[in-house]
Structure 1
Amino acid sequence: MTGRPGFLTGETMETVTNPHSRSSPTADQTYEISISRLLPGDSPRTAQSTAHIQALAAVQVPLPPIIVHRASMRVIDGVHRLVAAQLRGDETIEVTFFDGDERDAFVLAVRLNSAHGLPLTLADRKAAAQRVIGYHPDWSDRSIAAVVGISDKTVAALRRRSDAAPPFERLGRDGHYHPRDRVDGRLRASELLAQNPHASISEVARAAGISATTAKDVRGRMRRGENPVPNRHHARVAAVRRAARAERPTVDRSAVVQRLRSDPSLRYSETGRTLLRRLNGPGADPAEWELLARNIPGHCIQAIAELARMCAEDWQRFAAVVDSRSATIR
């Protein structure tokens, strides 16, 4: 073991594998170990450069230590330096150990290879981004782009072709989770502002997981009596809701209610009749709901939206109670 400070330990693992960290690995401890103990790493680089290896082999000053995954002894960063050492006939090499798991080791390899030394090819960067998306689907496009060294638009395109399940929230470079769907963040902000109109923009933005600019826009829209969600988002929201409805089996609501109304056990009891009256409530089709929503006065929008959510929550709780009773009967 050398006395010279090294590169990386488990304590600094988070600073180099989290997408929102821009810090470099901190100095700690290096080790002189036998080259024969090392194994090829899971490198984001598909090909080595012979010219780069020969150039490194000719360097007379000590090269930086290579990074090795302690658990597997696989090289994370420094393959060219390792081959150059072998070419010179060296039997040992200076290393710094990394104590994360194998996925973190790959992310670190991508980050380091993107930041220094021989640049990764665009194909290597895209392939690496695809793997990082699979490992960390909750990381934002910008976070992954910062690690891999490509644009966030390229990451977004790769994500669309990925099999990774889209998360509800993503971890941004600021270290905070943000709603994947900005519509949800705007709605959260509108609820917070309805409860506390004097709340600061920064407080609303932080609580709703949106930017201060978006929170300011929501406040302005509410003061003008407008919908907190801009019109351009409505088509996307409608598409998501249509997809959700398509996944559920189609039920003829009126037919079900009519069948229940003819059931004597419900018709001839007070609780049964109360339940039927509530079940026979508004069952408007989507077009009718849209018409109702468009004609709500601006100053009533938030109050009605809140009441609608409360009604939905009441029915959800009632459904859970009924489901639990059904399970008990079975």
Structure 2
Amino acid sequence: MSEDLSEVQTCRIPVASLVPADSPRVLGEVPEHVRLLAESEQPFPPILVHRRTMQVIDGMHRLRATQLRGESTVEVTFSDCDPGEAFLVAVRSNIKHGLPLTKADREAAAVRIVGSHPQLSDRMIGSAVGLAPVTVAAIRQRSSPADEVETTSRIGRDGRVRPLNSAAARVNASRMLAAMPDASLRDIAQATGLSPGTVRDVRERVQRGDDPVPERQRFPRSRSRGKHRNDLVSVPTRDLNDLLRSLRHDPSLRYSEPGRALLKWLFAHSAGLKGGDKLAAAVPSHALYTLAELAKAYAGEWLGFAARLEQQIHEDGIA
């Protein structure tokens, strides 16, 4: 996402050969800043230019000041970044030096980057535009269309790809912590794809007797409607009995010991909680909290199982 320009040679080219920048500044260049630069006696740092398109990536104020001085050439450094990355490079460059971007500029840039690079994490976009990750998350919530296909993972500032819902990985980490209590957080993080900080959170949750998966990951919130829903276990489009029958007649399950065990387990738990309202009404007041905790624990086990299936679908590349 970024380029090392420390060893790139600069050169002077005609000002007329340059294409104006796709600037992150909502109102464009600031004339007063251009005038101050033009009146200074200091030489300007090279302007960053996209080699293939000759479009300015960073340095429009310096370019305008060069023109105001009446000079016909300007010193530039060329970038060979992908055209789709040029705006992101421009924002990064403006954040690091020169006239600071306004909050409106930075928020507008975040909206654009969320749309063009939805795979980037809120923290990574925030570091590029100079906003807090929580602000980027709110911008993503507001700006993303309800019918957009959501990404299942995001790229962090360290370049690592992490799943948006790490429920299955957290469950795996909790099991590894129990089986290998002397293993380091980093070793378990590498084995599960989590960050060491997340593994630490899992360990602390388990030590407190809590579920290793936070409630927000067990019961994600719908972006489009703002209501609780389960992204891992969607409402089936066919009758549950039809789904069970199709699994029962699957030879790969019927003719293997683990498959038969799975079928037996599924059919034993297929009754569900029909008439749940009446059952809940029969619970005495002093037992409500205990039963609620028990029900959530069972639901968490099912969600963890569903998360592992979803993760396997993703890893196997099944459409």
Query: Does TM, normalized by the shorter one, top 0.5?
Result: yes
- What is the identity, as a one-letter code, of the residue corresponding to 1:86? Q
Identity %: 40
Alignment match, 1:81:
62
Quick one: which of 58, 79, 97 aligns to 1:116?
A: 97
CA distance in 2, matches of 1:255, 1:70: 57
Give yes or no for contact 2:152–2:165 (8 Å, CA) kept in 1: yes
Mark the CA change 1:284 to 1:203 in structure 2 (over 3 Å): closer, same or farther: farther
Distance (Å, rounded) in 2 between the aligned partners of 1:111 and 1:242: 34
Unmatched segments (≥5 aa) in structure 1: 1-13, 17-23, 318-330
Aligned equivalent of 1:26? 6
Q: What is the correspondence of 1:138-217 to structure 2 with a 5 Å cutoff?
A: 138-161=119-142, 162-163=144-145, 165-217=149-201
Q: Which runs of 5+ in 2 are unaligned?
A: 222-226, 277-290, 314-319
Q: Is 1:245–2:234 an aligned residue pair?
A: yes
Query: In 2, are the aligned partners of 1:137 and 1:165 still within 8 Å (CA)?
Result: no
Shift, 1:217, TM fit: 4.0
Normalised to the residue count of structure 1, the TM-score between the two structures is 0.69
Following TM superposition, by how much is the alpha carbon of 1:146 offset from its aligned partner in structure 2, in angstroms?
0.7
The separation in 1 between residues aligned to 2:209 and 2:247, in whole angstroms, is 42
CA contact (8 A) 1:137 1:167 kept: yes
Residue type at the aligned position of 2:12: E
Give, in angstroms, the shift of residue 228 of structure 1: 2.1
Cα distance in 1 between the residues matched to 2:64 and 2:197: 51
What is the SS of the residue equivalent to 1:241?
coil
Which is higher, the Rg of structure 1 or of structure 2?
1
Counterpart of 1:56 in structure 2 is 37
**Kindly tell me: are residues 292 and 147 of structure 1, through their superposed partners in 2, closer, same or farther at Cα, counting changes over 3 Å?**
closer
Note if 1:104 corresponds to 2:85: yes
Distance 1:118 1:231, change over 3 A: closer
1:83, CA displacement in angstroms? 1.2
Cα RMSD after superposing both structures = 4.1
Q: Distance in 2 between matches of 1:69 and 1:249?
A: 50
Residue 286 of structure 2 corresponds to none
Post-superposition Cα deviations, 1:31-70, rounded to whole Å, max 9, x if no partner, equal 1111111111211112211111111111222111111100
Residues 15 and 25, structure 1, Cα contact 8 Å, conserved in 2: no
CA displacement at 1:286 relative to structure 2: 6.2
In structure 1, the residue corresponding to 2:56 is in which secondary structure? strand
1:285 maps to which of 272, 288, 291: 272
Is contact 2:168–2:305 with CA below 8 Å preserved after alignment? no
Alignment partners' CA distance in 1, 2:242 and 2:268 = 10
In structure 2, relative to structure 1, the CA distance for the partners of 1:217 and 1:44 (3 Å cut) is closer
TM-score, L = length of structure 2: 0.71
CA distance in 1 between counterparts of 2:178 and 2:94 reads: 49
Q: How many residues align?
A: 276
1:182, distance to aligned residue in structure 2 (A): 4.2
Return closer, same or farther for 1:210/1:79 CA change in 2, 3 Å cut-off: same
How big is each residue's C-alpha offset from its partner over 1:198-228, in whole Å with a ceiling of 9 and x where there is no partner?
3222211233333434323433544666532
Distance 1:232 1:150, change over 3 A: closer
Q: Provide the rounded CA distance (Å) in 2 between the counterparts of 1:111 and 1:158.
A: 18
Are residues 240 and 193 of structure 1, via their aligned partners in 2, closer, same or farther at CA, if it must alter by over 3 Å?
Answer: farther
Amino acid at match of 1:205: A
2:17 is the alignment partner of 1:37: yes
Distance in 1 (CA, whole Å) between partners of 2:75 and 2:157 is 32
One-letter amino acid of the structure 2 residue matched with residue 245 of structure 1: S
Output one character per residue of 1:90-148: Cα deviation in whole Å (capped at 9) or x when no partner. Answer: 11111110001112111110011112111112121111111212222222111111110
Secondary structure of the structure 2 residue equivalent to 1:236? coil
Partner secondary structure for residue 191 of structure 1: helix
